[in-house]
Structure 1
């Protein structure tokens, strides 16, 4: 009896025996990519359509996650001053492409900032006192994965697309 061919390993599976930092970075990048795929191919009209009673939209999720990247990595770790913004509100001139490009830029900046820290390095937090890079990674994985799940449901409501890659 032959074994059916196995699909290639996913990024999270490839790091199953890697070090802690590589695992954390890989999982965060995995969920970042899922979020961008969930809006891929949609019109701005579809991505900004409200399908639930809250202000949550696919475009708003991307905008919110961009603000989260900037708050935790750029602000807490990098010392950048946050710019006040309604991080769920999509402006008239926002497009799917511009929101995704802004998110990808924010994620790239976050990666660069993190290179200067160890997982045990801590920074001041107004609410928590001090937080480690390790804690920030776990928090961002949780936040991004939760919103990737929201995006999955909203995408299915938009055009029926389902699954990890749709």
Structure 2
């Protein structure tokens, strides 16, 4: 991870990108069947984690900060974890990569103190969105670490 001695924004961006990269590392190289296999009582799978975090990126950056309407009814609850027959590891990772790239582009247009309407909190700042996304992505990356270890024994952050 870069930005160990940097300004606030660069540090927030570096932490979020680090956890995004770890998630991709945890899922890349696993087969489609293994990525969709449920090893826990919940809907948590490696593929489902990528799909869910793609939805989360779209919600917080694209819809909340970008004013976009990319979100769908599948964005709520368990639907964001559900896999379609056409979902593959590579297609999900490509969609996640596109969502993260658009998130970066949207965020670049705002200051950390800029605020956005939120249905439950009245307003949230871009700073709050970054911190929330770091927490959300780190939490689910931890889930991916556990599921990957249960799948094939692989452990470690990036190597």
What per-residue deviation string (whole Å, max 9, x for no partner) do you get for residues 42-82 of structure 1?
10100000000011100000000000000000000111112
Deviation, structure 1 residue 17: 1.6
1:122 to 2:110 alignment: no
Distance in 1 between residues matched to 2:153 and 2:41, nearest whole Å:
19
What residue number does 1:84 align with? Answer: 73
The list of structure 1 runs, each at least 4 consecutive aligned residues, that deviate by more than 3 angstroms after superposition, is: none
**Long gaps (5+) in structure 1:** 1-10
Q: Which moved more, 1:69-78 or 1:80-89?
A: 80-89
Q: TM-score, normalised to structure 2's length?
A: 0.95
Deviation, structure 1 residue 84: 1.6
Q: Pick from 46, 49, 52 the counterpart of residue 37 of structure 2.
A: 49
Which protein has the bigger helix share? 2
Query: Could you say what the CA RMSD is over the residues aligned between the two structures, in angstroms?
Result: 0.7
**Long gaps (5+) in structure 2:** none
Deviation, structure 1 residue 152: 0.2
SS, match of residue 87 in structure 1: helix
Deviation, structure 1 residue 154: 0.2
Deviation, structure 1 residue 15: 1.4
**Structure with bigger gyration radius:** 1
Q: TM-score, normalised to structure 1's length?
A: 0.91
Distance in 1 between residues matched to 2:58 and 2:105, nearest whole Å:
12
Aligned residues: 154
